[in-house]
Chains A and B, each alone.
Chain A
């Protein structure tokens, strides 16, 4: 199953995991793994989701997530996992 990596970075924001998780559920993106860390007030969350059964176009899924981030002063990137595998694994 195709997977994408959602990365959320910015100042800590209450409820952001809930917000992104709910959004993923609505769009039928299954969350496979999640990791987060908070350094001083900065927050980084990385979520691996399956995108094979999305009920919207991937581009719209990524755009909407970016908007959700913007509204809270966070940067949300949604990228196909292959770019990371290609760059960092031989």
Chain B
């Protein structure tokens, strides 16, 4: 029989420490839906999504029951729509978004990602059409998530695209000003975007992916925080080992759920994403892990070092637990979705500058950060360019999901509800990069020798 202590440990992790599977995300390729007729394209997209994901929610719930572990979200990621909507007008792209929303509602999933464009080197007219209506599309749908990749380490940074995203984000905030600027919470700007990420809002099904695949994202900050607390006053080598062992166990559950879901749905298993994904619930916070490691408050000196160690240990522990690891795989630090981050930002301990430093050692980036509504468009572009540069220079994924909260000023609160949480409006430097941003063009790809 299985060891009693092991059984009680597993049950404790689930019941007391909020261990859960954050998401089962089904990646669906839509290349076979391409048509030069808008109505036909929309119909084929709707049919394919509702056919492939018909049993996704039901099977997710069955697996949750069988193993006694919550599976919080069931989602779908699709081929970036700019790759299948070459013939669409801007209005056509809005109708495609509404079609996706309808399909998502029909199958009962929580989000659908892939209203996306990959424009790291340049922009086609199709991509320009799509980006021009992202705010309207997100404002007129509930479940659609959008992302735009503006840079890669190999191609450099498309500053014209960043310029466009600055105005896109501001307009998205304005159009959803009566709904906590919700459109901005569903829109991410990426560098080095992964093609198999199961997490929203940046999930899509990349061009190298199969027709359909199951990708799973685990959670578990609470389990890691508790393990660190139980370890007491040990040195950092021991602490790293404890984090690795906990990450291993968490990821094994992810692997079990992923392979079970893939087999029951009859589609290939893709990857397990090793990310430590927090929620706004007490005891499910990455910031509190850092504090349990010995920091007075997340955001103070030592935060980047602690996070770097945590992130590395999570990967080392997780990578052996899964046959295929992918996606974002690192500790998430979204401000509004993490109870400890919210507290640190509200007390002034966590600044935007510190967050930026933290993103150089973990996934993903400036995530769910609320700034004053009157923040200049060029400043938003500057913030994006800074964050994207960190990803490009370090050959890693970084992203920006920023909410310039319309009508709000520093110190106000914005509540998004659910897992998106709430956040204080953070201070952002208003020193203007307008002339730098206005130059446009491309930042060349960085050199990868002479490292310093």
Contacts and interface: CB of A to CB of B under 8 A. Distances in A.
B1 A83 contact: no
B3 A83 contact: no
Contact of A86 (B4, B8, B11, B256): B256
Q: Is the interface of A mostly helix, strand, loop or mixed?
A: strand
A29 B19 CA distance: 28
Given A58-B66, A59-B65, A79-B68, A5 B256 contact: no
B69 A59 contact: no
Given A62-B65, A78-B68, A46 B249 contact: no
Contacts, number: 69
A30 interface: no
A65 B391 CA distance: 50
A40 interface: no
Nearest to A58: B66
B227 to A, nearest CB: 13
Contact of B1 (A48, A78, A87): A48
A88 B9 CA distance: 10
A33 interface: yes
A84 to B, nearest CB: 5
Contacts of B66: 58-59, 79-80
A21 interface: no
A7 interface: yes
Interface in A69-83: 75, 77-83
Contacts of B73: none
A55 B16 CA distance: 32
B10 A84 contact: yes
A86 B253 contact: yes
A60 B423 CA distance: 40
A33 B65 CA distance: 22
Contacts of B6: 84, 87-88
A44 interface: yes
B70 to A, nearest CB: 12
Interface of A: 5, 7, 9, 32-33, 35, 37, 44, 46, 48, 58-59, 62, 75, 77-88
13 contacts: A5-B2, A35-B1, A44-B4, A44-B8, A46-B1, A59-B66, A77-B15, A79-B66, A82-B67, A82-B256, A83-B67, A87-B249, A88-B10
